[in-house]
Every structure is written in C-alpha cells, then in structure tokens.
Chains A and B, each alone.
Chain A
C-alpha cells in the first residue's frame, strides 16, 4: 500500500474536511461529530502509513510535488509537499497519537455541552499539524504553523467562561507570536536572498547545496553569515512554539485547556513543531559550520537555549503542586533536550526523542486526565493520593509513562532516546556544558516524576474527589493501554545496537549497530543518576506519604526559600509582567497621552477651523441668499392670500361684479361715442 507523493495532500485534507463538517454539525450531533473526526483521522493514519512505506523504499530521496500557487509580478509563488522519512514518521506519529487522543476525548468530554465544537477544533488542529509536516515550502509551513497556533488558542480557551482559561489562551497566542515574528522575518530574508521558499526543488530549493553555498558565502551584520542570521530568525519561531527559554511561560498556563488538548497539542505534537522545523531546515542551520570566522554558529545558540531550557523546566517542575503543571514543565524540559540534541549536531537523536516523547507524554497526560476526571476535576496533588487501588489501569500506565520519561533503563523508550541525546552531547567538541545540563536534568526528571507518582497514587486519599475515585470507562483506558505499549516498544526501533529509525531518518538503508558497551561509561553514569533521582524522590515522598492536604512538603521543609521560588516558577511571569508588560503598558500610556493631547489637540484645532468656516458660510447663506428668496416668496404668499380673500364663494357676489362691470363697459362705450 503505497501513497504517491502527489496524493500526499489527502493526509491533511481529510481532517480539514472533518473540521468543516464538525463546524456545521448542530450541538446535538455528538455522535456524528466524533465519528467523522475519528474516521477522518483514522483514514489519514492509514494514508500516513502508506506514505511511510513509500518513503522507506528509498529513504535518502526527498520526493516532492511542487505546483504554482499564484503569480506575483514577474515571480511565481510555488508551494508543494515533500515526502521523506522525517515527514512520514512525523505524520504517522501525529495521526496515531491524535487518533488515540480523539478516542480518549469522547470519554473525557462526554458531559460537555460543546462536544461538537471540541471535535471541530481538534480536527482543525490535526489538519494544520499534518499540513505543517508535509509542507515543502517555508511559506506553506508558516501558514500551517499559524493555523496550529490558532487551533491551540481556540482549544486552550475552550472553557472560555473561566477567566484563567481565556487569559491563558491569549498569553499562549501572544507569546508564540513574538517568536513567529522572527520566523516571518527569516522567511522574508530567505526569499529576498534566494528567490525561492521551496525546500527541495530539483537543485533550486533553499535546502539544496547551490542556495546554501550562496547563503553561507555572504556576510551580514556582525560578521554573521546570512545563513546563520536566517537560521537564528527561524529558530526564534521554534523557541516560541516549542516553549523554549525565554518564551516558555505560555506552555504551563496552556494547561487550562481540557486535558486531551494538553496531551495532543501541548505535549505530543504541536510543541514538537519547533523541533521539527529546526530539523527540517537543518541543512540551513549547519551551512555555517565549515566557516571558522563567524563569531557564533547558529547551532551553538540552539544548543545553549536547549540546555538552559532542559535544566530550567526540570528545576521548576520540582516545586509545582498541579499534576498538569508538573507535566507541562517536564514537557518544557524535554523539548529543551530535543533542542540540545539539534544544537550538538544530532538531529536524528532529537527526532527519535520527539517520537518517543510524543507517545509517553501523551500517555502521561491522558493518564493524568483519567485521574482528574475520576477525582472530579481535582488537579492539586495535595488533595489526591491513594489512587493506586481504585484506578489500577491508570496507575499501571502512568507508571510506565513515568519510567519512560525518567529513563529507567533498557525496557523503556525514553531511556534509549535520552541516551542518544547524551551521547551526542558528549561528542560535541565546542563545550561540555550541554552534557552537564542534560545529566543534571536526568536526576531532576527522575526525582519530580517519582514525587508525582508517590503523591498521587500512594498513601491515602486526602480529598473528597480522590476518596470516591473510580476507574475510567474503556474509551479512556484502552488508549492508555495502547500508548503504554508504544511507550515501551518504540524504544527498540532505535537502540544503539540496532538504530533502524536513525538510519532511515538519515537516509541510509544499511544499519550500523554497535555493542552497548561502546560508550557504556556514560550509559552507566546516566543509569546511576536515574537511580539517584528515583531513590531521592522515594526517600522524601514515598517512604512516609503525605497524610493531610495541608502538610508541608518535605522538600519545602528542608529548603523553604528555594522551594517557594520554584513554586512561583522562579518569578518568570512576574519578571515579564514587570519588564515587558510594564514596557508595553508604558508605551500604551504614552500613545494614549499622545493621542489625547497632541494628536487630539491638532485634530480639534483643525476641526475648529472647519467649524468656523462652516459658520461663516452658513451665515452668508442664511442672510443673503435665503433672505432674498424668503422675502420674495413671502411677497408672493401675501399676494396670493389677498387674491384668495376675494374668492368669497358667494355666487351673487360674482354675478354682481359681472353685472356692474357690464354696465360700466356699456356706459364707457356709449359715452365714448359709439365708435
């Protein structure tokens, strides 16, 4: 079952059609809306598998299908789609995870009044994301990128009657927009320099050697090569969308949306779009690597941002109390890992981690959703607890997800993908700092995930919701089980002994595996660090579980100041409110003052002049022109009234006048001499 590249558009078109149908479905058509959305995505999944088979037949090739969109002056704007292993793996992942999350949503939102709207938005999101993945043009990618942002905005604000959700939606939209500006600028610059936005175009595309050599050869401000500058601008877009430091603040707030949305968009797929974008334009990012004279390579910046984010997200996650927020910061941290891998030169390790992370993070979010649903929308882990007994399937799957995320060795996918990244960081010859950041984040990740599991599932129920929790319905548990299976199995596609996935992504058909003992020292160290994190977490939270909701966190008792700083998310939001927010407030106030006094004064003066001219004009009109006409018509009216007063209606009077006139006439004639 092959899917030729010319038909690749079907993959995003089907969910788009489903979104259209969903938009027209009345509120009562819940079953119709869900069936259409799930059916369309299932078909897309089958098509994606077909596309993957086509791509794997020749993994090194970039199959493209380009077409003219419209003509603009002398140039023609062209769009197209590309099929290579990167696209195919992403499409399969998005459709498969999406499908499971769609099915989960039918259970999670079973009581929501706006069920049909939810599925319409979900389908729109899937269409945009798939369009982004198959795009062979930076412009098409950008369009889908913005559509994805729109769908994210709509879904974060799905419960817009909650002020927090409405604010979070706005925050996500505006924060990512800052990064998107960079992407837009990079795109414009790229078009200006090369005259094309197609990635692959038979030698004329921007990611092909001719254009790349030209871009790397020219220098621009600060001694940067043009390719470096454009790469950094495009990376700005990825920073915004993937929640990288310093634009990470929107991602934790995005958890105000329904949990399946958090799973699909803010953990598994959309936030990975930034990583995908950098991987897609990777030839552009590395074009400046051979140049020794450039002050900074684009990838160095990527690695630095990724390392800071990986560490920052993991640190902040320790001090959070909301299940979804912990997972959100863990997503920030894992996305930092992926950026780190991209930065240190191993984009295949980044994509492998992206794929495994998509599965186990979707699993964790959906399991968290199952907990939240069972505990009557209680998300604070201080009020949960003791759910291991009543929710066996959820507990088991959540534990598998936790172990995959923490990197428990050998069995779980997260271990293998994280190893790949650490090894790549180890091999980077610019600086060892990313490796250290990654290793510290390993300990922290294992620690906070152990804390989460211990607080939520062990001990005793500390709230009403947790005390009466029951296992969720099969529409929710079956996706969990499937995802848990994938969270384990997927790792074996990319172990160092048999790196099938990495080889295919790099376009090789033969697989060069090596023994696990090669580089075994680093692996042993990371296993040790995972054990340290889990052990510390269990010692603090697992041995003696929390008994009351109000009890002090054990870590907070030891380091109260640092812990409260972590709980407040290191005051990033406050910092931004005090700087960027105040700056924008100040600018707005200045603009208001200018408007009110300067521009308004000018306008008022001009309008006063106009009023004066009008006044003079009107007086002239009224007194001179109107006066003359008025006097004339008044005279006519008076004359008419005088005449009409003679019309008495008395027939005798008329007759009398006629008779007297006749007599007078006769007398005049007779006295005149009868001539």
Chain B
C-alpha cells in the first residue's frame, strides 16, 4: 500500500475528524462542542479539496466551489450556534450542555 499525496490528505482529514468528534463528545462546554463540530466540518472540506486536486479525473473547480459554499454556510451556522449558546446562557446562567435538556420527552 503506497502513500500518495491523496492518501496523506485523507489520513490528515480523518485524524482531524476524529479530533473534532472526540472534542464534541467529551466536552460539556457548548462553545467547545461547537469548535469540535467546526473541526469535523473542515475535515470534510479538506476531503473535497483533496479529491478535487488529486482525484482520478481533474475537473473544473467543482470541489473548490463546494468548499467555498460550505465555509459560507459554516460561518452562518456558527453565528446561529453562538446565538443559541448566548440564549442558553441567559436562560440557565451557564452553558453546560448536560443541563440544557428542557426539550426532553
């Protein structure tokens, strides 16, 4: 099994995804969870770029466009997420996710 640039990129993005996932699962601070989620998102973006650059058939800038869209949407999503965090903070005077369980069944 040889390691070309594509495989290295995929290993890196997998590592980044796992770091993000662990961060999101293990932290109770909502902001840190959001950070973890951003890491996972960016791991996906790296995959887009890698497959575009080193993929079997180099094509027009499809992957780059995807990533730009994803970054723009991620920015909006981060704004919404932070606004939610602020709302939760106002409501319960902290941002511990374990305690934000008002919507449980």
Contacts and interface: CB of A to CB of B under 8 A. Distances in A.
Interface residues of B toward A: which range?
A: 10 to 19
Interface string B66-105: 0000000000000000000000000000000110111111
A538 B67 CA distance: 141
B33 interface: yes
B105 A646 contact: yes
B102 to A, nearest CB: 6
B17 to A, nearest CB: 10
B25 A656 contact: yes
Interface stretch (A249-257, A297-305, A550-558, A647-655): A647-655
B41 interface: no
Interface in B33-48: 33
Interface residues of A toward B: which range?
A: 10 to 19
A645 interface: yes
Nearest to B28: A652
B24 interface: yes
Contacts of A652: 25, 28, 33, 97-98
B21 interface: yes
A644 B105 contact: yes
Contact of B103 (A643, A645, A647): A647
B71 to A, nearest CB: 22
A651 B104 contact: no
B25 A647 contact: no
B104 A647 contact: yes
Nearest to A663: B21
A577 interface: no
Given A655-B24, A659-B25, A647 B98 contact: no
Interface of B: 21, 24-25, 28, 33, 97-98, 100-105
Given A648-B104, A649-B104, 17 more contacts: A644-B105, A645-B105, A647-B103, A647-B104, A647-B105, A648-B105, A649-B105, A650-B98, A650-B104, A651-B97, A651-B100, A652-B28, A652-B97, A652-B98, A655-B25, A655-B33, A656-B25
| Top 6 A-B residue pairs of the complex, sorted by shortest distance between their CB atoms | A644-B105, A649-B101, A649-B104, A647-B105, A651-B97, A648-B104
27 contacts: A643-B105, A644-B105, A646-B105, A647-B103, A647-B104, A647-B105, A648-B101, A648-B104, A648-B105, A649-B100, A649-B101, A649-B103, A649-B105, A650-B97, A650-B98, A650-B101, A650-B104, A651-B33, A651-B97, A652-B28, A652-B97, A652-B98, A655-B24, A655-B25, A655-B33, A656-B25, A659-B21
